[in-house]
Homo-oligomer: A and B are copies of this chain.
Amino acid sequence: MPASSPSAPVQDARFGLDRHLHLSEPLPLASGQSLAALDIGYETLGTLAPDARNAILICHALTGDQHVGAPNPRTGKPGWWDRLVGPGKPIDPARHFIICANVLGGCSGTSGPGSIDPATGQPYGMRFPVITVADMVAVQARLLDHLGIQQLHAVVGGSMGGMQALAWAVHHPERVRAVIAIATTARHSAQNIAFHEVGRQAIMADPRWRGGDYPPDDGPADGLAVARMAAHVTYLSEQGLTERFGRRLQDRDALGFGFDAEFQIESYLRHQGLRFTQRFDANSYLYITRAMDYFDLAQPHDGLLAPAFVPAARAGVRFALVSFTTDWLYPTAETKRIVRALHAAGAPTSFVEIDSPHGHDSFLLDAPEMNRIIAGFLAHNG
């Protein structure tokens, strides 16, 4: 095992390590602003090989965190992707050095609007600079620098994690050998932006948002819950909702003719909204959704996507794309657009559309076909 240091403790293949990195160099951002200092909360699993060639970076989605394969030390809940990541799983700490960092703008250890602004000693709130997916990737690159990893075996992510995985190939093609991008998009569509805007307006309409300067224990929970509910509907499919809930009533045999949760779907949504407010920061939700809305890999190339991938193709990056039949948030048609651009750029690309009734959330659920695809792709890129 490598020697330990204060910020790089001894690895243990069985358990995740909840880690933290503080960097005092300023971080330049896509907006032209910069962040004075940077904290990164991250988890590692497994042991970095002496040649540092077994590192896999996993990028989390909008409301995820760094606890991808080991239990969250605060909540005790299992890692959010432990069906894919863990001993005996396709991404295995016995073979891989697995890294997952809370994204820039987040609220789980990495600098975000809830962090203390060193210039004032107060939380940034809405004075935190606006960030992009490219900025998130730049932070991860700093983390890899710190960990002594020049090139990733693979970068893997679903949804916003897939955006980051694609952005790695675009912005740092020499630092990644393989990209696995799942249930994702190369740009946020007008409809994607629209749903995010509904959520942001719900948060900012809550008087307890107070322009972003709310105490941590008295934030805009009602607005954030509505934002989560609206988003949650987009993560599920009509088919999945019908199979799971249909028009079944909640705790009753007949219609109650009132405004309590009559239908199970209402009760479920209210529960999702409430639970979310207990684990996520409203300002982080504003900043991260904004970053996603800004995401458009083709923008610097006059709307053409293939040129964005040419440097990655030249660097020999291999790509695996996965979509799900009932994902209407980032539908298969958008994944096919990415695949066409990758082919046009000359990048080796595999693509599978998986049949699933569970909509966008499929990638977080039991998806044995996805796991087989990832295992196979990683094995052929060893």
* A265, B229: Cβ atoms closer than 8 Å: no
Query: How many residues of A are counted as interface, with CB atoms below 8 angstroms from the partner's CB atoms?
Result: 59
B273 adjacent to A241 (CB under 8 Å): no
A222 within 8 A of B: yes
Which chain B residue shows the least CB distance to A286? Answer: B259
C-alpha gap A200/B222 in the complex (Å): 12
A258 within 8 A of B: yes
User: Which residue of chain B has its CB nearest to the CB of A239?
Assistant: B191
Copies in the complex: 2
* Chain B residue contacts of A304, Cβ below 8 A: none
Chain B residues whose CB sits within 8 angstroms of the CB of A286 once the complex forms: 259
By the criterion CB–CB under 8 Å, are B257 and A229 in contact? no
Q: Flag if B202 contacts A259 (CB, 8 Å).
A: no
Which parts of A99-154 form the interface with B (CB within 8 Å)?
126, 129-130
A238 in contact (CB, < 8 A): yes
Q: Which of A17-49 contact B (CB under 8 A)?
A: 30-33
Minimum CB distance partner of A268 in chain B: B194
Nearest B residue to A331 via CB reads: B238
Quick check: A202 and B226 within 8 Å, CB to CB?
yes
Whether B189 lies near A201 (C-beta < 8 A) is no
Q: Which of B31, B187, B194, B204 contacts A241 (CB 8 A)?
A: B194
In the complex, the chain B residue whose C-beta lies closest to that of A187 is: B247
Question: Within the complex, what minimum Cβ distance (angstroms) separates A25 from chain B?
Answer: 21
List of B residues within 8 angstroms of A290 by Cβ: 259
Residue of B nearest to A334 (CB): B238
Question: In the complex, A257 Cα to B290 Cα: how many Å?
Answer: 9
Cα of A266 to Cα of B257 in the assembled complex, Å: 35
- Taking a contact as CB atoms under 8 Å apart, the answer to whether B229 and A294 are in contact is no
- Which residues of the other chain, B, contact A230 by a CB distance below 8 angstroms? 198, 230
- Whole-angstrom distance between the Cβ of A290 and the nearest chain B Cβ: 7
Q: Is B259 a contact partner of A201 (Cβ separation < 8 A)?
A: no
Question: Which of these, B233, B247, B296, contacts A247 with CB under 8 Å?
Answer: B296
- For chain A residues 228-258, which have a beta carbon within 8 Å of chain B? 229-230, 233, 236, 238, 241-242, 244-247, 255, 257-258
In the complex, A263 Cα to B192 Cα: how many Å?
Answer: 12
Q: Known contacts A205-B206, A247-B296: does B33 contact A198 (CB below 8 Å)?
A: no
| Given A201-B229, A255-B294, A189 and B241 contact (CB-CB distance below 8 Å) | yes
CA distance in complex: A129, B238 (Å): 30
B233 touches A269 (CB 8 A): no
Known: A191-B241, A238-B189, A255-B294. A270 touches B198 (CB 8 A): no
Known contacts A226-B202, A242-B190: does B130 contact A197 (CB below 8 Å)?
A: no
Offer 29 A-B interface pairs, CB within 8 angstroms, sorted by A: A31-B255, A31-B257, A187-B247, A188-B247, A190-B242, A190-B247, A191-B233, A193-B247, A193-B263, A193-B265, A194-B266, A197-B229, A197-B269, A197-B270, A198-B229, A198-B230, A198-B269, A201-B225, A202-B205, A205-B222, A205-B223, A207-B207, A226-B226, A230-B230, A247-B296, A255-B294, A259-B286, A259-B290, A263-B293
Which 7 pairs between the two chains have the least Cβ-Cβ distance? Answer: A205-B222, A31-B257, A190-B241, A130-B257, A190-B245, A190-B265, A191-B238
Which residues on A are within 8 Å of B, measured CB to CB? 30-33, 126, 129-130, 187-191, 193-195, 197-198, 200-202, 204-207, 222-223, 225-226, 229-230, 233, 236, 238, 241-242, 244-247, 255, 257-259, 261-263, 265-266, 269-270, 273, 286, 290, 293-294, 296, 299, 328, 331
